[in-house]
Structure 1
């Protein structure tokens, strides 16, 4: 600014009044230019914000399309895999939304068909139950237990398929529990008392409902680990695209590490995601 004033003094030395008038004009011009720059900067910021939001929308849509495409591919893989199954008689399933997805059904079928687990614990009655119940019916050395809280849902599901004596449903009410710093986690009431003395080689976790949980979800299994698993085991946790379920899988891993139990972790992605935590000798399941 001093440079401008000095220059103006050289131009208008005779008249201080003229100099002051010219100074006012120049200062107004400078202020107008500043306002113009501020306005332009705001327009650029607004435009960048719009572009940023549009890019986020495009990224979200691309992610959804990718998941839907992946789910469709898994559907084909699943149907091709079960087409000649000798024990899966009813091959009609309705995956998605609250139910498990096609990658879950595919991996579950492969485990049942090739690993042949004998003691199965399933948390949450649904599409997976339709498959496991048929598996249990076909092999007399299998015991299958399903935990479900909703009596009306149990009655509805049992209208569409029958369980053999090798499958049973344990109806447990829900309550809110505390785990670490999380003070409100939905769990099955008396779950620990029901299963603390049981052992399983295949545990499937798709309940209770956990979409509204914040830090942890479906922590029931933590109350009976590691005593509930044998030397060979598979734990499947559905809905691991959500933070709370994913955090619970990390707690399962911490428990296994604390007791020096070797394990492997795997993840499958379709419309939803699920995590596998299993004994090291079954590592092939993570890449099927």
Structure 2
């Protein structure tokens, strides 16, 4: 045991801190992104009923999604993992700031139904696979009819033997809009998500696609791939 003299709770907190330090996150900036997010939501007249705490989207992710939706006209958003960002996308859609299509993928039926009652766009229930990427989405029966402008990867849960579960998002890279796209990987400070970012970069290089990469650092790390008309998103 790495911390034999400490309680289980303290050991868990220290393990998270160690992971955060290795991933290069900056928790002290969380309050900065919260202030920016709160300011923008108030200015846009959107009720601030969000809870970016615990395992939900943190404030830097909420800031990033909000800024992307304010600055760009996305036609097709695909979101992996339902939650606070799903509610945020819906709020922008109800204000007609975002007028494209959105599809959210979720594996937990109860959670899917809970969020679906609160948003206008479709949530698709997609089971997890026990093969290939352990705990990843089973996308064999899922179809996205149009090219993807904005791909948000924040699901499924990734831990333990399933730390590569979010690599199940890789087929969506083949559906990115060749005229421009944004890909956001949440929790990019973690090993699995960091490796996913490298794999996405390799695929884009193999396709000879020009793109930029940026990171947003707070309590968590978001890695951003941006191309074409959305290239400036890498600098948000």
Q: TM-score, normalised by structure 1?
A: 0.68
The question of whether the paired residues in 1 share the 8 Å contact of 2:33 and 2:63 is answered with: yes
- Pick one of 48, 64, 81 that aligns with 1:107: 64
1:91 equivalent in alignment to 2:48: yes
- For residues 1-288 of structure 1, what are the structure 2 equivalents within 5 Å? 67-86=26-45, 89-139=46-96, 141-159=99-117, 161=118, 163-164=119-120, 167-178=121-132, 184-189=133-138, 191-195=139-143, 197-213=145-161, 216-288=164-236
Q: Could you give the per-residue CA deviations for residues 35-57 of structure 1, whole angstroms, max 9, x where no partner exists?
A: xxxxxxxxxxxxxxxxxxxxx99
Question: What is the aligned residue count?
Answer: 218
Q: Which runs of 5+ in 2 are unaligned?
A: 1-13
1:28-86 CA distances to partner (integer Å, 9 max, x unpaired)? xxxxxxxxxxxxxxxxxxxxxxxxxxxx99x96x959x833211121112112222115
Contact 2:166 2:193 in 1 (8 A): yes
For residue 146 of structure 2, give the secondary structure of its aligned residue in structure 1: coil
Q: Distance in 2 between matches of 1:71 and 1:193?
A: 38
Q: Distance in 2 between matches of 1:215 and 1:73?
A: 30
Answer yes or no: is the 8 Å Cα contact 2:134–2:165 preserved in 1. yes
Q: State the distance in 2 between where 1:83 and 1:225 align.
A: 34
SS of the residue aligned with 2:53?
coil
TM-score by length of structure 2 reads: 0.82
1:115 offset after TM fit, Å?
0.5
CA RMSD of aligned residues (A): 2.6
Contact 1:121–1:146 (8 Å) recurs in 2: yes
1 CA distance for matches of 2:85 and 2:189? 19
Q: CA deviation at 1:222?
A: 1.3
User: Structure 1, unaligned stretches of length 5 or more?
Assistant: 1-55, 179-183
Asked whether the 8 Å contact 1:197–1:228 carries over to 2, the reply is no
Query: Is the Cα contact below 8 Å between 1:215 and 1:247 reproduced in 2?
Result: no
- Aligned with 2:44: secondary structure? coil
State how far apart, in whole Å, the 2-side matches of 1:214 and 1:173 are: 14
Taking the aligned partners of 2:26 and 2:58, their CA distance within structure 1 comes to 11
